[in-house]
């Protein structure tokens, strides 16, 4: 009889040790599974969940350079995520969305274009602003100094087409000054306008300030006073048919984050 309590105590000690060992073994698994990241997600430097995905972003042509930089920065901060950009005039992007082109995010150069597909997007957020300048050949050989110079019939002027945001803004500011400008061509996007000036096929053109800065070694930029200018707004939104909704939402949010904003503003874009 005296041995029974001792045996009971030994069994109790054995069970307690097994329980402690079991808890220790389970602890790493619990730590790995905590946080609600789910399969294919990770915590970024800021502590937010960033699901891995291959994202397709439809973006206005004037965002070409800055979004390539932004995309590389985002991919570096979110390993496992790959972003493919498709750049075009906002009207072309809107047509693609309306036709069901597979994509995850849409960023246009004006709110009107975004409004045309509001049934296909989430709530848009303006991520940046821009303004127009007059782009001329390097050194401004024809001495274009202000908007009214564009009305000179001897000047070869190129503009974005009226259905393009840059074309709408151009018409707006020219009409405001009661100027009649007869362009030698109307281009499908603002980058095509810039290219014409770069190549010497046009003497001047109206482009965004950021476009002129991206080609500062090839063109000059003539500033347009604020009271004669127009402010371009860039809304970004996720697409409702995206198969990567969570990752798309994370990218759009990142564009408004301090890191995303620094990249945009370093490229010459204004704060939203």
3-state secondary structure 235-263: EEEEECCCCCHHHHHHHHHHHCCHHHHHH
d(CA 145, CA 140): 9
Question: What confidence tens digit (pLDDT) does each residue in 136-195 have?
Answer: 999 999 999 999 999 999 999 999 999 999 999 999 999 999 999 999 999 999 999 999
d(CA 71, CA 107): 13
Question: What confidence tens digit (pLDDT) does each residue in 98-146 have?
Answer: 999 999 999 999 999 999 999 999 999 999 999 999 999 999 999 999 9
pLDDT of residue 35: 36
**Is-same-fold flag (42-129+234-266; 130-231)?**
yes
pLDDT of residue 51: 76
d(CA 174, CA 45): 47
Burial letters 34-68, b for 16+ CB under 10 A, else e:
eeeeeeebeeeeeeeebbebebbbbbbbbbbbbbe
Place of tokens 């939402």: 249
Strand-pairing partners, residue 187, are 160
Does domain 130-231 fall into CATH 3.40.190.10? yes
Domain locations along the chain: 42-129+234-266, 130-231
Tell me how far CA of residue 30 lies from CA of 23, 42, 164, 170, 217, in angstroms: 10, 16, 53, 59, 57
Contact 264, 128 (CB under 8 A): yes
Length of the chain: 272
d(CA 99, CA 40): 30
Q: Record the pTM.
A: 0.80
Positive or negative CA dihedral for 206, 165, 160, 174?
negative
At residue 74, φ and ψ (nearest 5 deg) are -65, -45
Q: How confident is the model at residue 10 (pLDDT cuts 50, 70, 90)?
A: very low
Q: How confident is the model at residue 17 (pLDDT cuts 50, 70, 90)?
A: very low
d(CA 220, CA 212): 7
Q: Which CATH architecture has domain 42-129+234-266?
A: 3-Layer(aba) Sandwich (3.40)
Q: How confident is the model at residue 49 (pLDDT cuts 50, 70, 90)?
A: low
pLDDT of residue 52: 85
- Out of 39-43, 50-54, 228-232, give the one with best mean pLDDT: 228-232
């Amino acid at each position: 009889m005296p041995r029974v309590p001792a045996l009971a105590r030994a069994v109790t000690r054995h069970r307690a040790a097994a329980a402690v060992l079991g808890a220790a073994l389970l602890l790493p698994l619990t730590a790995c599974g905590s946080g609600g990241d789910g399969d294919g997600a990770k915590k970024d430097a800021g502590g937010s969940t960033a699901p891995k995905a291959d994202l397709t972003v439809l973006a206005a042509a004037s965002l070409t350079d800055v979004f390539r930089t932004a995309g590389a920065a985002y991919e570096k901060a979110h390993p496992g995520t790959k972003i493919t950009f498709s750049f075009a005039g906002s009207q072309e992007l809107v047509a693609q969305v309306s036709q069901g082109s597979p994509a995850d995010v849409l960023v246009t150069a004006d709110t009107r274009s975004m409004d045309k597909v509001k049934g296909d997007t989430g709530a848009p957020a303006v991520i940046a602003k821009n303004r127009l300048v007059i782009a001329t050949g390097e050194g401004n050989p024809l001495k274009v100094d202000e908007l009214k110079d564009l009305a000179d019939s001897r000047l070869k002027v190129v503009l974005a087409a009226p259905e393009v945001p840059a074309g709408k803004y151009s018409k707006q500011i020219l009409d405001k000054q009661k100027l009649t400008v007869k362009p030698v061509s109307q281009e499908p996007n603002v980058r095509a306008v810039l290219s014409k000036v770069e190549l010497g096929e046009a003497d001047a053109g109206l482009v965004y300030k950021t476009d002129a800065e991206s080609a500062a070694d090839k063109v000059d930029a003539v500033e347009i006073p604020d009271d004669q200018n127009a402010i371009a707004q860039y809304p970004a939104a996720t697409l409702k048919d995206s198969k990567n909704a969570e990752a798309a939402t994370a990218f759009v949010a990142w564009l408004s984050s301090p890191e995303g904003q620094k990249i945009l503003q370093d490229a010459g874009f204004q704060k939203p």
